[in-house]
Amino acid sequence: MTVGTGRPVVGSLLSYLAPADRDFLLGRGVSRTLPANTALMHEGDPTDHVLVLRSGWVRVYSSTKDGQVVLFALRGPGDVIGDLAALQPDWTRTGTVETLQRIAFTQFRIEEFFACLHDRPAVAIALLRQMTVRLRDAEAARVDFATLDVAQRVAALLVRLIDMHGRVEEAGLVLRWPLTQQDIADRIGASRRAVARALATLRERHIVTTGRHLYVVTAPDVLRLFAGIVPNGT
């Protein structure tokens, strides 16, 4: 697997930067790689650096006192890790970050990252845009949890992921992501068994097909209706 700079995911910091600004930012930090299943950060640790992913994916999660895992997000190429705590130096890490596959990233000390924001306003604006995307996603997840059943929450999550990261292929809208049923369960606050039943229902209705790290939405408007979302153009 390549460990260069991959195509930035939609809504990430690097996706909002012009090539010259992207090169400026990545040139100011230290390039590193790590293998799969490695902890990048631990919840509760003090803050001393910021990472910008260049390739590969990580999962960001928190563990409750009773041992339940809450998955905040999957982050991929172009995403910043550790920026929230870095903007508030007296905060500790709000989540644990683990690699899902081999990754390449650029590491900055906090003062180096702040210097980039001051020296290149385009980088600061891109960081704000990334934060607005994450805030919108967090708000949507809270609404889903309060108003939808498990099957609808699974459908709503797939709609958001397809809208942001899916690609149009002959089979339908395709999402190739390292997203397991347990990840979905941890993200929407449900059991793995309930998620499996929800995906089975979507498959039986020929709305979605699934494979290893593969989700294909064959009937996107139906999936939106299933999730209680009005399809575009209606």
The answer to whether residues 166 and 105 belong to one domain is no
Mean pLDDT, the chain, as a whole number?
88
pLDDT in tens, 66-76: 778 888 888 99
> What CA–CA distance (Å, rounded) separates 18 from 177?
25
The answer to whether residues 9 and 73 touch, using CB atoms and an 8 Å cutoff, is no
* Residue 64 phi, psi (nearest 5): -80, 170
Whether residues 131 and 157 fall in one domain: no
Domain that holds residue 186: 148-226
Q: How confident is the model at residue 93 (pLDDT cuts 50, 70, 90)?
A: confident
* Same domain for 133 and 18: yes
Reported as type and span, the H/E element at residue 127 is helix 121-147
Provide φ and ψ at 204, rounded to 5°: -60, -30
For the chain, how many structural domains are there in total? 2
Strands laid side by side in the 39-41 sheet: 39-41, 96-99, 58-63, 69-75
pTM value > 0.95? no
Q: How many CB atoms lie within 10 A of CB 216?
A: 18
Section 161-175 average pLDDT: 89
**Same-domain check for residues 131 and 49:** yes
